[in-house]
Amino acid sequence: MCAPPMLCVAERAVAPHAAWTDKPLSKSTTLNLELFGNRLRYQVNLSRTIAVGTPSPAFQNLADVAVEAMNAALDSVRPGLTCSEVESVFRRSLARHGLEKEARLGYSIGLGYPPGAVERSASLREGDETVLQSGMCFHMMPGLWLDDVGIAITQSFAVTETGHEPLSSTPRKLFVK
Q: Which domain covers residue 161, as residue numbers?
A: 6-176
SS3 (DSSP) at 85:
helix
Query: If you ran DSSP here, which 8-state letter would residue 171 be given?
Result: -
Output the pLDDT for position 113.
47
Q: Total structural domains in the chain? A: 1
Q: How many CA atoms lie within 13 Å of 21's alpha carbon, on the beta-carbon side? A: 8
Q: Return all residues near 69 (Cβ < 8 A) that are at least 6 apart.
A: 90, 93, 94, 142
Domain CATH number, residue 131: 3.90.230.10
Output the pLDDT for position 163.
98
Output the pLDDT for position 137.
92
Whether 48 contacts 175, CB under 8 Å:
yes
1 within a domain of the structure (yes/no): no
Residues of the chain predicted below pLDDT 70: 1-4, 8-20, 111-120
Output the pLDDT for position 64.
97
99 within a domain of the structure (yes/no): yes
129 within a domain of the structure (yes/no): yes
pTM exceeding 0.95:
no
Output the pLDDT for position 77.
98
* Helix 83-95 / helix 57-76 crossing angle, nearest 10 deg: 150
pLDDT digits (tens, 9 = 90+) for 16-65: 666 667 777 778 888 878 888 877 777 788 999 999 899 999 999 999 99
